[in-house]
Amino acid sequence: MSEQNILLKVENLKMHFPAESTWFGKPTKFVKAVDGIDFQIESGKTFGLVGESGCGKTTAGKCVLRIYEPTEGSIYYQGTDISKITESQLKPYRRSIQLIFQDPYGSLDPRQSVGSIVREAVLADGKKKAEADVKARIEELLTLVELDPSMAGRYPHEMSGGQRQRLGIARALACEPKLIVCDEPVSALDVSIQAQIINLFESLQEKLGLTYLFIAHDLAVVRHIADTIAVMYLGHIVEMMDAGELYANPCHPYTKALLSAVPVTDYYTEQKRSRIVLEGEVPSPIHAPSGCPFHPRCRHAADLCKTQMPPLVDQGGGHFVACHNY
Ligand code: SF4
């Protein structure tokens, strides 16, 4: 991957939230939601960030959007470290990096019509525009997300879940973004609608050259859209590689367990597969285990795993694994 093509580069990103403090307000314990992650996304590509709830993937996305101020680390967007700049310097980046929510209904004002929701986004840059141009742009955006422009007069409660998510996408596209952080954008939808929205994301990427940071808990969803996938566990990336390689050759015990839970459409393959059931719960990030964060649930854990954190190492061909066994 050439440096020039990299749209987003995240280095040693940490987001620690104070969890307990002294009488004087000095924090004594932290929730280490994200604890030193590195990744980069090539322009026009999709990077999937996957893991169970509480692994830190959404927090990482919110840091990229500067909804959270990272505790440590750098976020380079087109070569500029946007983690350190002021709110006024951030303004142009705010339009260029957009967010698509998990729950489109929760993010849409129920009192606003479809047309006025998109209009608001079209006018958000503060530039003067002729009414005819605004109307044409609203129509263009609705068509782009495969909604009939005649729906402009409807309200969000009159739409299906899939239509509402399309509206959320139209609103994000109004700002002409380069990077879209998609936070579980299909997990609230029926499976058949999920496929339609994933296809829409793909066709928009082709048409508009968009780059996605695609956050999901479900590997089955990400496999269809991502070029590169990183698996997160307790604030750390434990495995990262090309999407095809991840499904053909998963190395980390946690990734293997996650993959074993993804249903396979072929009946005979499904019959031959054995499911890896993980024991116990994800530990609290306030009391994260020493050494490898996965060791209390790992069937291969050795003494070393309990004391030493395995580094994320390239095992060859850009396949990164954080495990003492590799
Ligand atoms: Fe399991 Fe040890 Fe590898 Fe962690 S480092 S995943 S505990 S084998």
Mind listing the pLDDT tens digit for each residue in 171-214?
999 999 999 999 999 988 888 899 999 999 999 999 999 999 99
| Protein residue with its CA nearest to atom 6 in ligand 1 | 323
Residue 221: both structure tokens together: 């969803």
CB 78 within 8 A of CB 276: no
- The best mutation among 251, 297, 298 to test binding of ligand 1, ranked by most ligand atoms within 8 Å of the C-beta, falls on 298
Measured from the Cα of 305, ligand 1's closest atom is 2
Ligand 1, CB within 6 Å, residue ranges: 252-253, 292, 294-295, 298, 300-301, 305, 310, 323-325
Q: What's residue 165's pLDDT?
A: 94
- The best mutation among 276, 300, 303, 307 to test binding of ligand 1, ranked by most ligand atoms within 8 Å of the C-beta, falls on 300
Beta-carbon count within 10 A of 320 CB: 21
CA of 18 to the centre of ligand 1 (A): 28
Measured from the Cα of 326, ligand 1's closest atom is 3
Which residues lie below 8 Å from residue 185, measured CB to CB, with a gap of 6+?
100, 101, 102, 165, 168, 197, 201, 214
Q: Which alpha helices (DSSP H) does 28-113 contain, by range?
A: 57-64, 87-96
| Protein residue with its CA nearest to atom 3 in ligand 1 | 323
Share the mean pLDDT of the chain: 91
CA of 232 to the centre of ligand 1 (A): 14
Looking at residue 114, its amino acid is V
Which residues lie below 8 Å from residue 26, measured CB to CB, with a gap of 6+?
none
| Protein residue with its CA nearest to atom 5 in ligand 1 | 323
Q: What's residue 281's pLDDT?
A: 77
Beta-carbon count within 10 A of 176 CB: 11
CA of 293 to the centre of ligand 1 (A): 8
- Strand ranges inside 5-107, DSSP E: 6-21, 27-42, 46-50, 72-77, 80-81, 97-100
Measured from the Cα of 310, ligand 1's closest atom is 5
Measured from the Cα of 304, ligand 1's closest atom is 2
Q: What's residue 23's pLDDT?
A: 79
Measured from the Cα of 299, ligand 1's closest atom is 1
Question: Which residues of the chain carry a pLDDT beneath 50?
Answer: none
Q: What's residue 2's pLDDT?
A: 63
Q: What's residue 265's pLDDT?
A: 64
User: CA-to-CA distance for 284 and 294, rounded, in angstroms?
Assistant: 12
Looking at residue 135, its amino acid is K
Q: Three-state SS for 287? A: helix
User: CA-to-CA distance for 81 and 270, rounded, in angstroms?
Assistant: 46
- The best mutation among 295, 297, 307, 313 to test binding of ligand 1, ranked by most ligand atoms within 8 Å of the C-beta, falls on 295
96-105 confidence digits (pLDDT tens): 999 998 877 7
CB 61 within 8 A of CB 215: yes
Q: What's residue 22's pLDDT?
A: 83
Q: What's residue 74's pLDDT?
A: 97
User: CA-to-CA distance for 184 and 198, rounded, in angstroms?
Assistant: 11
- Strand ranges inside the chain, DSSP E: 6-21, 27-42, 46-50, 72-77, 80-81, 97-100, 179-183, 211-216, 228-233, 236-242, 313-314, 320-321
User: CA-to-CA distance for 294 and 236, rounded, in angstroms?
Assistant: 10
Q: What's residue 271's pLDDT?
A: 66
CA of 54 to the centre of ligand 1 (A): 20
pTM attached to this predicted model: 0.92
